[in-house]
């Protein structure tokens, strides 16, 4: 049987609300559902306007683009899969947010160990990796989130998405 075509992705709030973003349909990327993105940004609220978004495991870039749509100062997208990073760049260009955007085509674990040069403003760290990483690399994921908690600028917010196979009480949040 033929694979189902990917669902269209849209920005759910802010100045780009309703704008379609590109998604290539490759199973290597699992876009976050619209209602989950909306819930996250409802929780963050208007504070997003003071934040620099860091979209780890960026995939389509939907989380970072959603943050920019809602007024984030800037966004960094970290994605190791080159074709997917190209899709993120296409989405950035389509929304004309290149001046506020940076793509790091790198493995999140490697990139996160580098000296990161971010604005002193608080950050919104968005961590929505493939769910299997929480099973196959549990310790590595806990170390990653712990490191971000330790280096985040004061006033930062960190959002982690996983499925029910991961025990969130293991996180330092």
Q: What is the 3-state secondary structure (H, E, C) of 61-72?
A: CHHHHHHHHCCC
pLDDT for 108 equals: 95
Contact yes or no for 30/131 (Cβ under 8 A): yes
If you average pLDDT over residues 150-169, what whole number do you get? Answer: 89
What mean pLDDT value characterizes the chain? 88
If you average pLDDT over residues 108-128, what whole number do you get? Answer: 87
CB atoms within 10 A of CB 160: 19
If you average pLDDT over residues 129-140, what whole number do you get? Answer: 89
The sign one gets for the Cα dihedral 160, 162, 164, 169 is: negative
pLDDT for 164 equals: 87
pLDDT above 50 (res 5): no
φ, ψ dihedrals at 108, nearest 5°: -55, -40
pTM above 0.85, yes or no: yes
CB atoms within 10 A of CB 164: 8
Higher pLDDT, 128 or 31: 128
- Three-state DSSP class for residue 81: coil
pLDDT by residue (tens digit) across 78-96?
999 898 899 999 999 999 9
pLDDT for 1 equals: 42
Residue whose pair of structure tokens reads 């979209």 in the numeric block: 55
Higher pLDDT, 104 or 168: 104
> pLDDT category, 124, cuts 50, 70, 90?
very high
pLDDT for 134 equals: 86
In whole angstroms, give the CA distance from residue 158 to residue 44: 10
- Which helix (H) or strand (E) segment is 145 a member of? helix 138-151
Residue whose pair of structure tokens reads 């559902």 in the numeric block: 33
pLDDT by residue (tens digit) across 18-75?
999 988 766 666 678 888 999 999 999 999 998 999 999 999 999 999 999 999 999 9
């Amino acid at each position: 049987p033929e694979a189902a075509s990917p669902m269209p992705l849209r920005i759910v709030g802010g100045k780009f609300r309703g704008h379609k973003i590109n998604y290539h349909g490759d199973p290597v990327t699992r876009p976050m559902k619209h209602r989950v993105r909306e819930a996250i940004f409802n929780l963050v609220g208007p504070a997003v306007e003071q934040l620099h978004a860091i979209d780890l495991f960026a995939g389509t870039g939907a989380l970072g683009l959603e943050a920019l749509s809602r007024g984030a100062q800037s966004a960094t997208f970290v994605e190791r899969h080159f074709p997917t990073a190209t899709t993120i760049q296409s989405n950035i260009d389509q929304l004309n947010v290149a001046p506020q955007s940076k793509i790091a085509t790198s493995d999140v674990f490697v990139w996160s160990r580098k000296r990161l040069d971010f604005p002193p403003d608080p950050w919104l760290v968005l961590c929505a990796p493939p769910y299997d990483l929480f099973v196959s690399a549990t310790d590595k994921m806990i170390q990653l989130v712990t490191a971000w908690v330790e280096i985040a600028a004061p006033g930062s917010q960190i959002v982690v998405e996983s499925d029910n196979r991961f025990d969130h009480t293991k996180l330092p949040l």
